[in-house]
Structure formats: C-alpha cells, structure tokens
C-alpha cells in the first residue's frame, strides 16, 4: 500500500478539503465496497518482521473531500502508516461520488439545501455549497456536450429513415415530421404572460427523440442587481438572451430550430405537429425558414381536446 500522498482528489483544493483528525470519527460514509475491502485486505497483510495484522492497526485520521474520504491507518507493531480511499480515485469509467451526488440532486430537481437536509438526517458529512456550485458547472458542461451529441445522433436516425423512404425535397434534402412545444415559468393558462424564462423543444416524430432545444431568459440576477444599484454591470456569465414579450418565447425558439435545421443536420422539418394555438405556426410561415418549401401543420389531438375543453368551459 502506498504511503500518504499529497495529491488532491479532483476539483477540490487542499484548503477546501476538511481535515478531521478528532477521533472517534463521527457519522456515516459512502464507500465503494469492493475497492474498500480490497484495500483493507492489502494493508492488513503488510507482513514485515512482526507478522502484523489488522488487529494491530488503528485509524488515526481522515481527510475528507466532500463525500470522498482518505483514511490513515497506523500499525502499532511496526509503526508504518497506510492510506486508503473510500473509492478508486483513478477509475475512469465511473464519475466520483461527489459528481454523482450533484447529478442526482439536479436530476431530482432539488437543490443543495434539500440535499443538506437529507444527508444531515442520515448523518453523512458532505461538501460545502461553494463546492456544490463548482461541481454543478462541471456537470452542466458535460450534460450540454452529451445533449448536443444525442440530438445529433437522433437527427441522423430521422434523416436516414426519411432517405430510405425517399421523402426528399426537390433538392434532395430529407424531410421529416416533428413535434414542437414549449413551456414557460409562472404562467397560468389563458391570462398571465409575465414569464421570465421559457423553453421549447423540437422532437422527431418517428423516434420521439429531441432534435432541438432552446431556452430564453428575460432575467439575469447579476444584471438586475447592477441596474437597481445603478452600478456598472460586472463581468459574468449572463443568462439574459431575450427582450421580446414572454408569450413569443416559444415561437421564437421553435423558429430558430427550423431556421437552423439544414445547417445543423441537413434536414427539412416539413410538417409540424403543434398545439392548437396558431402563433407558432404563423410565425414559422412568416419567417419562411425554407424558401423553396412551405412547412405544413398537423393538429395535435391532445391539444385539440384541451382547447375544446377550454372553449366549452368558457361557454358555461
Ligand atoms: Zn505492521
Ligand atoms: Zn446578466
């Protein structure tokens, strides 16, 4: 087994790692069982003149990087120190437990404080909020890359299927049907359009996979604070990318998807299956994304029913 090393685990500086040498060690930990047992086996049979075994060893310290720990053991017979880790730091195929936890938090749609609450009840010590934000940046970047790759692969599948069926424009560009819909925050159906962010997606009809997503934000906290305090806006990763009316966000994103489909994937979205609200389709027609081709519209049955219900309710 190796002697103590000073190399840091990924993403956390030495200053941020929390040293805890006050034994007995408190709380619970998450360990990679097989890795942990293997290391215990190794250090317990370290041999030497004294025929030492694990009974002679004491845990003398822990260096914790969030959920990952390094434990220092000392053999009371030969006075040698050994370091073992809660998981394999060089394992390529697995992301470490810190990143895994942040991925879980994000997937579950909760935040740091909820996670803190849960792990506090479980008596598992975790990372600080500052570190959590750093991990989140790493994950968002990975997700973005994966999303782009996945959407590209989905588009290729749709394109190949259309080509195989001979669904091509006069210029030989494959044509596919797509669903398009959006959502935006703090909007109640029918009357309130004050949403600050909106998202929309275009999904291929044949395989039901996302081909295009877009997010529009009308609000950025950093900009808003600077404006309110009347100071110059500091350099920041700004989230504000939209100034038009909230209700036009969805149509705007979907139009962008249509306008970039040839450049991105060499595909024409020939028919759109959209909601009963005709704003998106009218906007697509007005923008005329394919000068040689008019996009057609198919009504979505679900939205048709919803709109009918709304009208019926209005009548009563
Ligand atoms: Zn020993
Ligand atoms: Zn900003």
DSSP category for residue 247 = G
Which ligand places an atom closest to the C-alpha of 73? 1
Which residues neighbour ligand 2 (ion) by CB within 5 Å? Answer: 220, 222-223, 238, 240
Query: What tokens does 135 get?
Result: 């991990």
pLDDT at 273 > cutoff 70: yes
- What pLDDT, on the 0 to 100 scale, is given for residue 277? 64
Upper half-sphere CA count for residue 183 (Cβ side, 13 Å) = 2
Helix (H) or strand (E) run with residue 179 in it = strand 175-184
What are the C-alpha distances in Å from 285 to residues 281, 295, 310?
6, 7, 26
Cis amide leading into 24 (omega within 30): yes
- What pLDDT, on the 0 to 100 scale, is given for residue 190? 53
Residues 126, 29: Cα–Cα separation, whole Å: 9
Cα(73) to ligand 2 centroid in Å equals 50
What are the chain's domains? 18-132 (no CATH), 167-190+197-215+246-315 (3.30.420)
Q: Which of 72, 73, 80, 74 is nearest to 49 (CA)?
A: 80
- State pLDDT tens for residues 135-147: 998 888 888 899 9
DSSP category for residue 174 = B
Cα(238) to ligand 2 centroid in Å equals 4
Cα(105) to ligand 2 centroid in Å equals 25
Cα(189) to ligand 2 centroid in Å equals 29
Cα(43) to ligand 1 centroid in Å equals 9
- What pLDDT, on the 0 to 100 scale, is given for residue 4? 36
- What pLDDT, on the 0 to 100 scale, is given for residue 171? 87
- Above pLDDT 90, what percent of the chain? 43
Burial class (CB in 10 A: 0-12, 13-18, 19+), 172: exposed
- State pLDDT tens for residues 26-72: 899 999 999 999 999 988 888 767 788 888 889 988 899 999 999 99
Cβ atoms 61, 82 nearer than 8 A: no
What is the pLDDT averaged over residues 260-277? 87
What is the pLDDT averaged over residues 288-294? 88
Cα(263) to ligand 2 centroid in Å equals 29
Cα(169) to ligand 2 centroid in Å equals 42
Residues 268, 171: Cα–Cα separation, whole Å: 11
Cα(231) to ligand 2 centroid in Å equals 13
In 3-state terms, what secondary structure has residue 256? helix
Cα(237) to ligand 2 centroid in Å equals 7
Cβ atoms 198, 253 nearer than 8 A: yes
Cβ atoms 62, 9 nearer than 8 A: no
Which ligand places an atom closest to the C-alpha of 219? 2
Query: What tokens does 29 get?
Result: 């930990």
Cα(47) to ligand 1 centroid in Å equals 7
- What pLDDT, on the 0 to 100 scale, is given for residue 53? 84
More confident residue, 12 or 232: 232
DSSP category for residue 54 = G
With bands split at pLDDT 50, 70 and 90, how would you rate the model's confidence at 15?
Answer: very low
In 3-state terms, what secondary structure has residue 144? helix
- What pLDDT, on the 0 to 100 scale, is given for residue 123? 95
Cα(130) to ligand 2 centroid in Å equals 20
Residues 285, 296: Cα–Cα separation, whole Å: 9
Cα(91) to ligand 2 centroid in Å equals 38
- What pLDDT, on the 0 to 100 scale, is given for residue 204? 94
Model pTM score: 0.66
Cα(232) to ligand 2 centroid in Å equals 11
């Amino acid at each position: 087994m190796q002697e103590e090393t000073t190399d840091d685990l990924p993403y956390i500086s030495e200053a941020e790692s929390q040293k805890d040498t006050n034994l007995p060690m408190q709380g619970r930990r998450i360990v990679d069982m097989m890795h942990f047992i293997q290391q215990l086996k190794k250090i317990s049979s370290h041999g030497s003149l004294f025929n030492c075994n694990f009974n002679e060893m004491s845990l003398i310290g822990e260096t914790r990087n969030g959920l990952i720990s390094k434990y220092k053991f000392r053999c009371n017979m030969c006075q040698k120190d050994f370091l073992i880790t809660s998981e394999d730091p060089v394992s390529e195929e697995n992301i470490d437990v810190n990143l895994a936890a942040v991925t879980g938090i994000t997937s579950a749609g909760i935040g740091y404080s909820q996670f803190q609450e849960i792990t506090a009840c479980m008596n598992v010590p975790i990372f600080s909020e500052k570190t959590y934000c750093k991990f989140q940046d790493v994950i968002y970047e990975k997700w973005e890359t994966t999303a782009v790759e996945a959407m590209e692969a989905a588009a290729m599948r749709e394109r190949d299927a259309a080509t195989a069926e001979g669904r091509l424009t006069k210029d030989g560009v494959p044509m596919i049907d797509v669903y398009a819909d959006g959502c935006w925050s703090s909007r109640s159906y029918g009357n309130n359009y004050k949403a600050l962010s909106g998202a929309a997606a275009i999904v291929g009809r044949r395989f039901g996979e996302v081909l295009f997503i877009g997010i529009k934000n009308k609000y950025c906290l950093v900009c808003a604070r600077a404006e309110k305090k009347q100071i110059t806006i500091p350099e920041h990763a700004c989230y504000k990318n939209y100034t038009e009316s909230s209700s036009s966000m969805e149509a705007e994103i979907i139009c962008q998807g249509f306008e970039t489909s040839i450049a991105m994937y060499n595909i024409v979205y020939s028919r759109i299956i959209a909601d009963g609200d005709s704003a998106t389709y009218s906007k697509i027609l007005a923008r005329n994304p394919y000068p040689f081709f008019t996009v057609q519209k198919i009504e979505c049955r679900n939205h048709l029913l919803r709109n009918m219900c709304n009208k019926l309710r209005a009548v009563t």
